[in-house]
Amino acid sequence: MKHNKPLVFTGSGVAIITPMKGGCVDYVALGRLIDWQIASGTDAIIAVGTTGEASTLTDEEHREVIRFTVEHTAGRVPVIAGTGANDTDYEVSLSRHACEVGADALLLVTPYYNKTTQKGIVKHFLAAAEASTKPCILYNVPSRTGLNISVSTYKELSAHERIVAVKEASGNISQIAQTAASCGGDLAIYSGNDDQITPIMALGGVGVISVLANVLPRETHLIAQHALDGNFAESARLQLELLDLIDALFIEVNPIPVKTAMALLGYCIPEIRLPLCEMEEKNLAVLRAALYRHGLLPA
């Protein structure tokens, strides 16, 4: 598919965790994670999204994590800043900050809890796009927000020069196909679900914004790269090979399992903010077993 707007990235972007220690963001651990991700082939860093616990960071922390991530990444790969909110004015403020500190693009989630109409979605996203000087990636995740972006709304928003892509985590392959057909090269599609990377890319998607990439950055990159190269058989083989681990990383609400996994692998401590909490023992056993099967933990 020919894209009419520059792509922010192709391949695998990691929805990176926000390490914490003693109630504060652990910037030393975050810096190490960014370096390891880039060395392992990750194509973009997505900071302070759902996986980065944006909802329980203070405003000061949210802004500082964006600034730190941009500074530490130092242009090695694109940095996409999560600046979405259910308050349009706050989303605009965060988006302006992210642009000012040098983020390469913004990730804008649909309003949650207060929700809105499709007309409200258009107004909400256009406000951020107008305030931004960088490309905007919409984020559709109805399971968390209670709100779905319709195909006709995608079509209307894709006319804006700075609305360039969507992270699609609706799980609705039929709707994603309809969006691709309707918007064509005006709206790039990233998979927002790790178990749907290959099928979404087979419909013309250009990559994934991934939780799995926290744990297996190289392998997640390869799933996407094989699809970009047109080798969908190999992409599907890797996708299916890792399906048990993908499922284990979502056995409880994200990012509880992935943050636990990263702690088990020694990249951070398993600190997470309430109302998220430590894993149930039975689910932890499933996660440990999946990490062991893929050679990530000793017996």
Percentage of the chain lying above the pLDDT 90 cut: 98
What is the average pLDDT score of the chain?
A: 97
| pLDDT number for residue 298 | 82
2 band by pLDDT with thresholds 50, 70 and 90 = confident
**How much is the average pLDDT of 278-299?**
94
Phi, psi of 43 (to 5 degrees): -95, -15
**How much is the average pLDDT of 42-56?**
97
What is the distance between the alpha carbons of residues 187 and 179, in angstroms, rounded to a whole number? 9
Domains by residue range for the chain, with CATH: 11-229 (3.20.20.70)
Is the N-terminal amide bond of 255 cis, ω within 30° of 0?
A: yes
pLDDT in tens, 89-100: 999 999 999 999
Locate 25 and state its tokens: 């963001």
Q: Looking at the annotation, which residues are catalytic?
A: 139, 167
**Is the pLDDT confidence value at 299 over 80?**
no
Contacts 24+ apart (CB under 8 A), 218-224: 218/40, 218/41, 220/12, 220/14, 220/42, 220/194, 221/11, 221/12, 221/40, 221/41, 221/42, 221/43, 222/41, 223/12, 223/197, 223/198, 224/10, 224/11, 224/12, 224/43, 224/197
pLDDT in tens, 4-32: 999 999 999 999 999 999 999 999 999 99
**How much is the average pLDDT of 140-147?**
95
What is the distance between the alpha carbons of residues 147 and 196, in angstroms, rounded to a whole number? 20
**How much is the average pLDDT of 115-144?**
97
Percentage of the chain lying above the pLDDT 70 cut: 100
**Is the pLDDT confidence value at 3 over 70?**
yes
Residue 188's CB is within 10 A of a number of other CB atoms, namely 26
pLDDT in tens, 227-259: 999 999 999 999 999 999 999 999 999 999 999
| pLDDT number for residue 255 | 97
Is the N-terminal amide bond of 111 cis, ω within 30° of 0?
A: no
